[in-house]
Each structure stands twice: as C-alpha cells, then as structure tokens.
Structure 1
Amino acid sequence: MSHREELSRFLKSARARLSPGEVGLPEGERRRAKGLRREEVAALAGMSVTWYTWFEQGREIQLSAPMIERLGRTLRLSDTERDYLFGLAQHRPPPLASRLDEAIRPATRHMLDALAIPALVIVADWTVVGWNALVTRAFRDYTDMDRPERNLFKILMLSERYQRNPENFREMAARLTARFKWDYSQAGSPEVFDDLIEEMTQKSAMFREFWQCSAIQAHFGGENSSRIEGVGRVSFVHSSYAIEEAPSQRLIVFAPKSAEDAARLDRLRALEPELAVS
C-alpha cells in the first residue's frame, strides 16, 4: 500500500467517526453513511470541496502545513494522529507545536526515578520540568523554585558558582548560547523565548556578546563537575536525548566521568538510601 492509499483510508476513517453534532452541525436527515460528508469537512477546514476531495482520494496534490493543521483540528485528530497525517501527506514531521509541552509522562517519570545517575528533563526554552533525586543532591533542588527560576540556561549563565574560573566560564557561555540559539530557531512559537532573551540581554554581558555571534551548535553535551557534601567533587559527562512521546522535551543525563567519580556517586547513594534506585 502506498502512502497516498493509506492517506485516503485514514482520512475516510477519521471523517466517518465524527457526527455532525460533534462539530456543531445540525444532524439533519438520515445519512446513507455515518460520519461527516466531504463537503462538511471542507467547509469546516476552510478548503474547497474539490481540493479536499482530491486530497482524500490520494491524488498528487500538496497542501500547505497550515491547511493540514486546520484539517487535523476539524477531524479532531490526536497529537499522534496529527503527526501521522503530516507524515503521510508531506513525508516529514509536522511543525513543532506552538505551546510548550511541560507534562512529564508516566514512563518518563519512571525512567528518571530508575536511573542510577542524575537526570532531568527540559523543554524548548530550557525550563526544567522534571528531575530525579540525584539531581537534587548533586546540583540543586528545583522543587520550590518558581517556573522562571527553573530555567537551566539562566541558572548556568547567571549563577556566580559557574563564573569563578573566567576562562572556563567564557567557553561554557559561548557553547551554551550557540545551542540556545539553535533551540530558539527550531521553536514552533519563538515568542516564548522573548522574556528570557530580554532578561539575559539586561543581565549578562557574555550573553549579549555571544547572541550576536554566528556560532550555532545543534547538539547538547559536554563535561561538568559538582562538589557534593559528604563525597567530594564528582565530574560528569552530560548528553541529551529527545523523548519520543514528547518531542519538545529533552532528557539530560549526567554520567560519571571516571571510575573514581562513579565510586563517589555510589558512596552518595549509600550515605542517603532514599537516593538508591529501587
């Protein structure tokens, strides 16, 4: 079966499961087939009946992304179904959602708690929305922090603890800003960055400098260290991964850099049993 054939089947199925009453139309006379008519879908989506008919028939026509979005809303598609429609129609992922998805899924929460290393989840503007107990002990506790204060980019760029070595801080600031610019460029709704960019412009000369540079970094990773009370300094290698069920979220994990660092992390979990992985 070709993509176009599956697109036709999928649209007919989505149309058939909706009743006129569900979309604000009068039920009217008895219908020969259940669901909405093609002309009703076209009218609700702001399309011509001819274009919708050809599209549903699987003809080789192209609809713009906004038009596919309207069609998806008309057919009451779920987020997964929306992605599927874009894949069939345009052979590529849909545009990023305009809102930040900050809901931590149960599977993600389970993984965070099960990991034996620090791990956290951020959304597109770098706001931390999930973390495990080891992050709280190794870095900071986000529990009582208001949302604007849980922004990892702002924490790393403005906190004095990262500025004690000017040379290292400058290298870190350049790298972080280059990645931050990439995330800004990919955002479905870049205005969510506006307040943060304005605040950083006012508060950080380093940000003002690197924001004007052309350097861009499309991956997130590097090394960091933290002095943890009771175990000493632990060095980490950190990297990030997209969360498949929430594409706008990123999981950042902090793996011990060496065997000695791993031993110190083990000692931390031994000292505080509540940090142990169940």
Structure 2
Amino acid sequence: MAHREELSRFLKAARSRLSPGDVGLPAGERRRTKGLRREEVAALAGMSVTWYTWFEQGRDVQLSVPMLERLGRTLRLDTNEREFLFALAQHRPPPLETQIDEEIRPATQHMMDSLSIPALVIVEDWTVIGWNQLIARAFRDYGPLPRAERNLFKILLLDERYRTDADHFREMARRLVARFKWDYSRTSKPEIFDEIIAEMMEGSALFREYWQESEILPYFEHVNIAMMPEVGDITFWHSSYAVEGAPGQRLILFAPRDPASAARLARLAESVRR
C-alpha cells in the first residue's frame, strides 16, 4: 500500500511541474493549480482518463510496459525517474534505455586498468567498448578493430578458434544464445539486435538451432580457458555486472579458477607491466 501512495505522490508531482506549453498545448484559461490536468496527461500518453486517474490515485490497476514508457515520456521523466516509476508500478527495473551509453567513464577504465585480472565492458548489443591490457594479452586486442568487428557475441560464435572442441563449442553456443535471447527480450530497441540475428541465422547453424528453443539465461557466468603458450593455459571463471548509471553497459570480469591458473595469470600480468 505504501508503494501505491508513493506512486500517487510521484505522479502528481511530475504532472504539476509541467505547463501546457512544455508539451505543446495552448495555455488556455487561467488554471486554479499549476501543472497539467489528468485528462491532458492521459490524452498525451494515449490512455483513457479513467484509467490514468485510477492509476494516479493508487488503485490496484496495472499498466503495460509500453503504456508506462509513454507515460514516462509524457511526464518528461529522466533516467532515474523512469526507473523509479517502474519500480513503484511493477516492482522491477524498466527495459534498457533506448539510448545506449557508449562512453567509458574514466573511473570505470581506471578501475579496469588497476585490476590484476582481465576485464572488459560491453554494451547492450554485446559490442566491446572498453577493456584492459590483460584482455588484450589473454584473449584479443580490440584496439585495432573497428566497432563493427567488436561484437563479442558474433566473435564467440563465428571465430574458428573456439571450434577446436566440438562438444565445448556446442555447450558455449547454447549458453550464449540463451543469454542473448534474454537481452533481446528486455531491450526497448529491438532493432539493434535484428541485424545481428539476421546475420547469425544465415551464418551459424547452431544459432539457428538454439534460437528456436525456449531456453533463456538471465545471467552471464561460466568457465573458459585461455591458451597461453608463454605461461600455460589459464582457466577463468567469468561473470558480468551492470555498470551503475551507464545504461546498457556490462562489466565482465575473468578471475582465475584455481591456484595454478592464478600463478600463470600473475606471470602474465607481470609481463604486461614490464
């Protein structure tokens, strides 16, 4: 009940700070209270007046994701307010922002550079936008690659280097497609995925097979092995984390799974520092 009361207060406050001119409406007659009327918000958001009134009053009505998105745009909510609206109305985060943040914050890059393990950042469509030197040594150097060739999903499924063990590759492909389907279901801009999906449908038999299945994977973690002739194979456990305040960005960390791998990674890190 407290959530509903807070939602009601939040919507009234957001409505009161807008004037008709802010949303392209004529000022009209003098108003007794400042802000937009409920019927104006409802019309601009494509909702019935009754439905919006009940929603603002805190009644037990549910709005779909598209309706909440239209309401957020109508009320000119910023990123934090949009997330707050979804948390109060649906008790979950909103879909990822349409505008993908592709700028690596200096603090994020500094943190990656300070780590003694490989780390990289991808955006919503799995394009790599940031990495540290240990990624370049243990996996690949993304520096010389144009953006179009830095899509981690396509690299992992199409690069021949990952196909040496057929069973391992099949298992990896199954997990990757399941996670990619999860990301696709959450995006508010599916067109950024459509080109990748079309390309993979044409170029990967395993993608076609697993895309038709119902499995989804809401997390990104598993074990992988980096073959490093100079120090020996390193077994990593990787996991991903959302970068707070950077819509669509995900930080992936690769930690050694066992003492032997940790020792080999330490030697590799030392060679990078020299």
Which TM bucket (shorter chain)? 0.7 to 0.9
Shift of 1:138: 1.7
- 8 Å CA contact 2:126–2:153 kept in 1: the answer is yes
Give the superposition deviation at 1:174: 3.2
TM-score (norm 1): 0.83
**How far 1:153 sits from its partner (Å)?**
1.7
Equivalent residue number for residue 179 of structure 2: 179
Q: 1:190 to 1:37 in 2, by over 3 A?
A: closer
Question: Which is worse superposed, 129-138 or 104-113?
Answer: 104-113
* Counterpart residue type for residue 85 of structure 1: L
| Structure 1: gaps of 5 or more residues | none
Q: How far apart, CA to CA, are the structure 1 residues paired with 2:208 and 2:222?
A: 22
Alpha-carbon distance between aligned partners in 1 of 2:231 and 2:13, rounded to the nearest angstrom: 60
1:120–1:130: 8 Å Cα contact kept in structure 2? yes
Classify the secondary structure of the residue corresponding to 2:249: strand
Aligned to 2:56: 56
Partner of 1:82: 82
> How much identity, in percent, do the aligned residues show?
66
Aligned to 1:207: 207
- Distance of aligned partners of 1:209 and 1:36 in 2 relative to their CA distance in 1, 3 Å threshold: closer
Count of aligned positions: 274
1:209–1:7 CA distance, 2 compared to 1 (3 A): closer
Offset of residue 110 of structure 1: 4.0
Equivalent in the alignment of 1:273: 273
Q: Which residue of 2 aligns with 1:196?
A: 196
Where does 1:107-126 land on structure 2 (aligned, <5 Å)?
107-126=107-126
| Offset at residue 155 of structure 1 (A) | 1.0
Deviations along 1:6-60, one digit per CA (max 9) or x if unpaired, are 1121112112222333222344555443333333323322334443333323233
Shift in Å, 1:122:
2.2
SS of equivalent residue, structure 2 residue 233: strand
Match of 1:144 in 2: 144
Name the structure 2 match of 1:6. Answer: 6
What is the DSSP-based 3-state SS (H/G/I as helix, E as strand, rest coil) of the residue aligned with 1:208? helix
Deviation for aligned residue 1:182: 3.5
Q: Could you state the TM-score of these two structures normalised by the residue count of structure 2?
A: 0.84
Q: For the Cα contact (< 8 Å) 2:237–2:254, is it kept in 1?
A: yes
Uncovered stretches (5+) of structure 2, i.e. residues with no partner: none
Closer, same or farther: CA 106–16 of 1 in aligned 2, 3 Å: farther
Write the mapping of 1:12-91 to structure 2, written as runs, cut at 5 A. Answer: 12-28=12-28, 30-91=30-91
Q: 1:270 to 1:72 in 2, by over 3 A?
A: same
Is the deviation greater in 75-84 or in 144-153?
144-153
Match of 1:233 in 2: 233
Cα distance, 1:149 vs structure 2 = 1.1
Q: Distance in 2 between matches of 1:82 and 1:31?
A: 27
Contact 1:99 1:188 (8 Å CA) reproduced: no
CA distance in 1, matches of 2:92, 2:108: 25
User: C-alpha distance in 2, partners of 1:93/1:243?
Assistant: 14
Asked whether the 8 Å contact 2:99–2:247 carries over to 1, the reply is no
Corresponding letter in the other structure for 1:168: H
